[in-house]
Amino acid sequence: MINCKDCEFCKVSADGHLAFACDPFGNVKEPECINKWLLLKVNMMVEAYQATLEYYRRLAPLQERMFKHVERELDDMDESENWKLQDEQDEQEKDSDSENDQ
């Protein structure tokens, strides 16, 4: 089995990271190369998922504050419309009282 670092499709960057130019559908040298390629892709997916989770962790407090702010605004809107509802309820009570009197 050939090591990846010895393969012509592997390039080592200055900081030691490996970059692969192999295509699993076209220029695979050995069957084990596909397994290695799959492992690399799974690792990339896990890293991306962990980065997303970290982003969500940092965003959670801000999101919580936004929800509280929106909740307060909605409560204020409901409270500001109470006078309309109170007037309508008063009118309905008067109407029902006058109907009961007749």
On the question of pLDDT at 74 being above 80, the answer is: yes
Buried b (16+ CB within 10 A) or exposed e, 72-101: eeeeeeeeeeeeeeeeeeeeeeeeeeeeee
On the question of pLDDT at 97 being above 90, the answer is: no
On the question of pLDDT at 59 being above 80, the answer is: yes
pLDDT digits (tens, 9 = 90+) for 29-41: 888 888 888 888 8
| Mean pLDDT of the residues in the chain | 84
Give the predicted TM-score (pTM) of the model.
0.55
> What integer is the mean pLDDT of 13-35?
82
Secondary structure of residue 52 in the 3-state scheme = helix
Q: Which domain holds residue 54?
A: 4-101
CA 91 to chain centre: 49
> What integer is the mean pLDDT of 67-82?
89
How much is the pLDDT for 17?
A: 79
In the chain, how many domains are there? 1
Please report, for residues 6, 50, 71, the alpha-carbon distance to residue 36 in angstroms, rounded to integers and kept in the order given. 14, 21, 51
Burial of residue 3 (number of CB atoms within 10 Å: 0-12, 13-18, 19+)? exposed
